[in-house]
Structure 1
Amino acid sequence: MKKLIFSKSFRVFIACLLILAFAVPATASAGYLGDKLLIGQSMQRGDYLLSQDGRFKAIFQDDGNFVIYKNGSAVWSSNTNKNGITTFTFEQERGKPVIHGYGSKWQTVYQYGYRWGLNPANGKYEYYWGYGFDNVLVFDVTKQVDAWIANTEAWIPGHHGSTLPVNTPGDTLVMQSDGNLVLYNNTLTNEYYPNSGIPVWASNTNGR
């Protein structure tokens, strides 16, 4: 049997590759975005924001849901775990993070499938495979709608009263170490926030 003999330079090259492979830290994964999402940026499925203390994670999941976890337990979600979800974008035009989805509506269609009813083959009421009318959810892939949006119009009046316009945009989304996911406008200040940005929306999960 012939032996395979590798040159010294080739063995050094392989050793360097192995060192690099094991030297990459776990936090360098493609899904980790730090603790902030800035205006104009987007999240892909599996991307997440992690609070600086590491206890809170806001992740855009594979099922389309945007969820905040505290030490692995869910404390808030966008309730968008459904078919037709497409993208998570921090829109520049509106200054808000938005989860988009395809437009959809229920339609009655005639199709082949597993159904309950009168089986024409034997005249019995039973489950059978056959044609019939079904109500199905049909997606319009040419139309994008807001499946979820950071609703500043509802949040600002409850937090700021009438001192801040309800359509004030944000520019930075932060997963904070107190458990709150907060949308800030860092170009504005007021008497309550003289040295920092003004919050225009939050998940209200601090202290949970």
Structure 2
Amino acid sequence: MKKTVFTVLAASLLQLALVSSAFATNTLTIGQQLVKGQSLSSTDGRFSLAMQMDGNLVQYYGSNILWASGTNGAQRYWYDPYWGTYNAIYPYKLVLASDGYLGILDSSRGTEFWHADTQSWINNNYRIPMIFPTYGDTLFVQDDGNVVLYDTHSNSSWLAVWATDTGGR
């Protein structure tokens, strides 16, 4: 019995280590998410993007805040007709969906608290109108201090479709 308990405990700890190391990276790709308590770091370790426990997505340079989503303490309510009650939901995870959607959602209902406005960012940063469809597929925490959502599939080079615009700080 003790051997079984220790085996299960060891397997559980191994799984925790695998989950933690999965986000010891500087990129988030389609289908991945960053949940509360997880972060991405630049390859040189100076910059990080953290999904904080308070629901805020924050970019740091060391301990200095460079950018934040402003979702800390945010909440929404949904009505449960079965119980006849309103229930609070909170920001929980940053997701990168297959259609290029980058946003902060609650844990289960899919309620949006923030999203990257890629179309406005593209319109403000490119002089030539985009004549081909673009959507972000890789979020990258760069060594220059910028967090950028890139379209890596539409053409031969990576095309930025959204950024925190904190590079060089």
TM-score by length of 1: 0.60
- Structure 1: 5+ residue stretches without partners: 1-16, 18-26, 103-140, 190-194
**Per-residue displacement from partner, 1:82-127 (whole Å, max 9, x unpaired)?**
24213321111x312210149xxxxxxxxxxxxxxxxxxxxxxxxx
Q: What count of residue pairs does the alignment treat as equivalent?
A: 140
**Per-residue displacement from partner, 1:25-82 (whole Å, max 9, x unpaired)?**
xx98817330000011111111111001110000000000000000111110000102
Match of 2:148 among 182, 198, 208: 182
Q: Matches of 1:155 and 1:165 in 2, distance apart?
A: 16
Aligned to 1:160: 126
Match of 2:45 among 36, 54, 62: 54
Judged with a 3 Å threshold, the aligned counterparts in structure 2 of structure 1 residues 165 and 204 are, in CA distance, closer, same or farther, namely farther
Instruction: Return the letter of the residue paired with 1:87.
Output: K
- Structure 2: 5+ residue stretches without partners: 1-9, 11-16, 76-89
Match of 1:70 among 45, 61, 70: 61
- Measured after TM superposition, the shift of residue 150 of structure 1 is 1.2
Q: Does 1:86 align with 2:111?
A: no
Aligned to 1:121: none
* Aligned-partner SS, 2:111: strand
Judged with a 3 Å threshold, the aligned counterparts in structure 2 of structure 1 residues 91 and 166 are, in CA distance, closer, same or farther, namely same
Q: Does 1:198 align with 2:159?
A: yes
Q: Matches of 1:48 and 1:176 in 2, distance apart?
A: 14
Q: Does 1:97 align with 2:88?
A: no
* Aligned-partner SS, 2:92: strand
Q: Matches of 2:51 and 2:114 in 1, distance apart?
A: 12
Instruction: Return the letter of the residue paired with 2:164.
Output: S
The structure with more strand, counted as a fraction of residues: 1
Aligned to 1:34: 25
Judged with a 3 Å threshold, the aligned counterparts in structure 2 of structure 1 residues 163 and 179 are, in CA distance, closer, same or farther, namely same
Instruction: Return the letter of the residue paired with 2:69.
Output: S
TM-score by length of 2: 0.72
Sequence identity of aligned pairs in percent? 34
Aligned-pair Cα RMSD in Å = 2.8
Judged with a 3 Å threshold, the aligned counterparts in structure 2 of structure 1 residues 165 and 44 are, in CA distance, closer, same or farther, namely farther
